[in-house]
Structure 1
Amino acid sequence: MFIRFRLKLVAALLAVSLAGAALAQNLVVYNAGSSELIEDTIAAFNAAHPNINVTVVSAGVGQHTTRIEAESANPQGDVFFGASVESFEAIIQYFDAYQTAN
């Protein structure tokens, strides 16, 4: 089950990053999860997309929430990783919806 969860996270990173990949070759990930999980996830992402530079900013959920709210007029992060559903729901208004091509 953990591997399935990790694969879903990698797919989510791919989907989000590919939406903006044509415009930029940088991806900023706000990480509130474990360092091991994000390192493994980014390694898998980098293997599939070696031309996209990934910067990981690790901090607690509260710090990222404050940062995302403060940056709302000019967002700096592309992906928020490792927080609970409740944490995402509290700041959902700062995220753009992603629609797949198919």
Structure 2
Amino acid sequence: MSKAEHNYIHSNLQRKIDETEAQLNGLGQRLTKVEQEIARMQERDQAQWHMIAKLEAKIDIVLTKIEDITKKSVRIWEAVFLTFLGGLVGVLIRNVFK
């Protein structure tokens, strides 16, 4: 192999190596961008889960308050019914023993 052929082959190989390195650098930069985007998405995801947990806690508070109000309402209606029933029984007893 002549010196010119050797230089030609070496030059082509070096050019291919340089192109491959440039492609690898570009891929490395894209990979870094993708990793950064994944990190941002994970941060957003964490923030969203935190917000969901806060909303769940607030919903639990509201449901507890609704349950308390419902229990109080039932007690009030029970008292009203028992008062009405007591009055009705009183009227019946009064009419029976007249």
Indicate the structure with greater strand content. 1
Query: Structure 1-normalised TM-score?
Result: 0.22
- Structure with more of its chain in helix, by fraction: 2
Q: Which has the higher contact order (CA 8 A, sep 6+)?
A: 1
TM-score normalized by the length of structure 2 = 0.23
